[in-house]
Amino acid sequence: MFMGEFQHNIDSKGRLIVPAKFREALGLRFIVTRGMDGCLFGYTLSEWEKFTQKMQQLPLSKSQGRQIMRHFFSQAAECEIDKQGRINIPPSLRSFASLEKGCVIVGISDHLEIWDEEKWQEVMKNSDENFDQIAEDLDFGF
């Protein structure tokens, strides 16, 4: 299970340190792809397989099914953690998530999210301001 929030800088070559807390669970290789809300998603190989099986249930005869498949699979990349605990994020994924310097890596149960630091702060501010209403709308059951 992934949880917690970690700040690291991405270097000019697109390398980002993976938090030590996450490295063992991820293994040496894992998948990074476009996520939602402007971030990247990171999945272990086993979770990626589960995700792939869910995506294969989408109806390809419908435009929305094809669009979702393209979104997640077209730029997905297998990343390998180097000896310094870094991964190299491909340019297309860095561009998608606006990753230039400060990044936040967040554990979200079965996957990671990689955010531009400023974008993450905006998302969290909005979430904090609306959390009670969101929880009520989802009928969370606290």
Residue 82 pLDDT class (50, 70, 90 cuts)? very high
Q: Which two tokens stand for residue 109?
A: 């149960």
Angstrom distance (rounded) from CA 14 to CA 6: 17
10 Å CB burial of residue 55 (0-12, 13-18, 19+) is middle
Give mean pLDDT, residues 55-61.
93
User: In whole numbers, what is the pLDDT of the chain averaged over residues?
Assistant: 95
Residue 139 pLDDT class (50, 70, 90 cuts)? confident
pLDDT, tens digit (0-9, with 9 covering 90-100), for 2-54: 999 999 999 999 999 999 999 999 999 999 999 999 999 999 999 999 999 99
For position 4, what pLDDT does the model report?
97
Angstrom distance (rounded) from CA 142 to CA 126: 21
For position 15, what pLDDT does the model report?
98
**Closest C-alpha among 109, 107, 114 to residue 93:** 114
Residue pair 87/79 in contact (Cβ under 8 Å)? The answer is yes
pLDDT, tens digit (0-9, with 9 covering 90-100), for 88-123: 999 999 999 999 999 999 999 999 999 999 999 999
Angstrom distance (rounded) from CA 84 to CA 141: 43
For position 134, what pLDDT does the model report?
82
Q: pTM of this prediction?
A: 0.93
Domain 2-138: what homologous superfamily?
Answer: Transcriptional regulator MraZ domain (3.40.1550.20)
Where do the domains of the chain lie?
A: 2-138
